[in-house]
């Protein structure tokens, strides 16, 4: 299983408000409800319920057809997106961890959605480099946080103009605001790379960007126009 995310217990908003968002909003039913409950009980990192309800609202609004997910985990978010994307839509999802993608494959089979999901196994940077340009209208990036910076150029290359990139867990329990000296050494790379990433995207003229305090911070980026972000590959 994937190493537990220590930030799961560091809400970026008042904990009582967070609990209200998770408990009082409409709950899932069926298999997705079972998977959400299993993950929460067993400390498996999945998108929290406030992000679940936001994605349901967003997908019912924009109805994406071609979705890419970077970081399959146990398949929960991919299965959720299948349920709420365009009726002719398809999800492609990437993961390199056999413990995770085997669970995801089992979930997709149990929900009979294998024909609507393509699971690509391997290193995300290698797979992203091979994907054709302007393919996806929605990308969800929920993988190694230190890799967001270097994954971003390919995400923008393969995202259609007007498409949306959603990036999860960018606030790190609020610790991205800490000075480098106050961050434990084992987390300094994540701290540095997330701050470098946010410095590029939050005010870039080719992008429309908003940062929401859902979960551990959900960043939404709309590709307004094509731009060459290849300078981010050099780091």
Binding-site positions read: 47, 77, 95, 142
The separation between CA 201 and the C-alpha centre of its own chain, rounded to angstroms, equals 16
> Which residues are CB-contacts of 42 (< 8 A; sequence separation ≥ 6)?
none
Give me 197's structure tokens: 């990433």
The separation between CA 184 and the C-alpha centre of its own chain, rounded to angstroms, equals 24
The number of beta carbons lying within 10 Å of the beta carbon of residue 50 is 20
Give the three-state DSSP class for 198.
Answer: helix
CA–CA distances in Å: residue 93 to residues 6, 69, 139, 177, 213: 24, 4, 10, 31, 25
Q: What is the distance between the alpha carbons of residues 96 and 98, in angstroms, rounded to a whole number? A: 6
Binding residues for S-adenosyl-L-methionine: 47, 77, 95, 142
Give the three-state DSSP class for 92.
Answer: strand
> Which residues are CB-contacts of 107 (< 8 A; sequence separation ≥ 6)?
31, 35, 74, 75, 76, 79
Q: What is the distance between the alpha carbons of residues 212 and 60, in angstroms, rounded to a whole number? A: 19
């Amino acid at each position: 299983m994937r190493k537990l995310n220590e930030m799961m217990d560091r809400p970026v908003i008042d904990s009582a408000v967070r609990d209200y968002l998770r408990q009082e909003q409409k709950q899932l039913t069926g298999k997705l409800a079972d998977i959400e409950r299993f993950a929460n009980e067993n400390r498996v990192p999945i998108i929290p319920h406030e992000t679940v309800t936001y994605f349901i609202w967003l997908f019912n609004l924009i109805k994406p057809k071609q979705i890419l997910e970077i970081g399959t985990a146990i398949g929960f978010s991919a299965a959720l997106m299948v349920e709420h994307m365009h009726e002719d839509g398809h999800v492609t999802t990437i993961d390199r961890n056999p413990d995770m993608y085997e669970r995801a494959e089992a979930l997709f089979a149990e929900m009979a959605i294998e024909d609507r999901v393509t699971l690509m196994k391997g290193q995300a940077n290698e797979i992203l480099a091979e994907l054709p340009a302007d393919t996806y209208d929605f990308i969800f990036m929920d993988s190694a946080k230190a890799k967001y910076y270097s994954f971003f150029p390919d995400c923008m290359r393969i995202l259609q103009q007007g498409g949306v990139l959603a990036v999860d867990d960018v606030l790190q329990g609020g610790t991205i605001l800490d000075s480098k000296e106050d961050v434990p050494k084992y987390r300094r790379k994540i701290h540095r790379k997330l701050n470098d990433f946010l410095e590029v995207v939050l005010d870039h003229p080719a992008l429309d960007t908003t940062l929401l305090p859902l979960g551990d911070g959900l960043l939404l980026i709309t590709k307004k126009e094509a731009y060459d972000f290849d300078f981010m590959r050099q780091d």
